[in-house]
Amino acid sequence: MIDNAKIWIPQKKHLQDHINHTRVIDLSTKLDLSTGLIDACPKRGKYFNMDVVLTCKSSFIRGSIHMLTNLLNGKERKNFNDLCFSSSNESISHLIKVFGLNKKTYITNLEFGLNIQLSKDPQELIDYNLLMYDLDPPNADEKFRGRGDMKVFHKTDYLLKIYNKSKQYRLQNHILRVEIKIISKRKLQKFGINRLEDLQKEDVIRKLYAFLMGEIQKLIVIDDFSEVDMTQEDQNELNLYTNPNYWKKLSRDRSYKVKTNRKARFKALITKYHLNSIHNDILTKVSEKFSQMMDCPQQSLKMVA
187, 159 Cβ separation under 8 angstroms: no
Please tell me the pTM assigned to this model: 0.91
**Sequence spans of domains, the chain:** 64-219+281-294, 224-275
User: Mean pLDDT throughout 60-79?
Assistant: 93
Provide the pLDDT confidence category of residue 304 given band limits of 50, 70 and 90: low
How do residues 150-170 score in pLDDT, each as one tens digit? 999 999 999 999 999 888 777
The answer, yes or no, to whether residue 145 has pLDDT greater than 80, is no
3-class DSSP assignment, residue 257: helix
Provide the pLDDT confidence category of residue 305 given band limits of 50, 70 and 90: very low
Query: Distance (Å, rounded) from C-alpha 8 to C-alpha 104?
Result: 9
How many other CB atoms are found less than 10 A from the CB of residue 279?
A: 20
Query: Distance (Å, rounded) from C-alpha 150 to C-alpha 138?
Result: 10
Computed on alpha carbons and rounded to an integer, the radius of gyration of the chain in Å comes to 23
The answer, yes or no, to whether residue 138 has pLDDT greater than 60, is yes
How do residues 216-243 score in pLDDT, each as one tens digit? 999 999 999 999 999 999 999 999 999 9
How do residues 10-68 score in pLDDT, each as one tens digit? 888 889 999 999 999 999 988 665 666 676 778 999 999 999 999 988 899 999 999 99
Q: Determine the pLDDT at residue 262.
A: 97
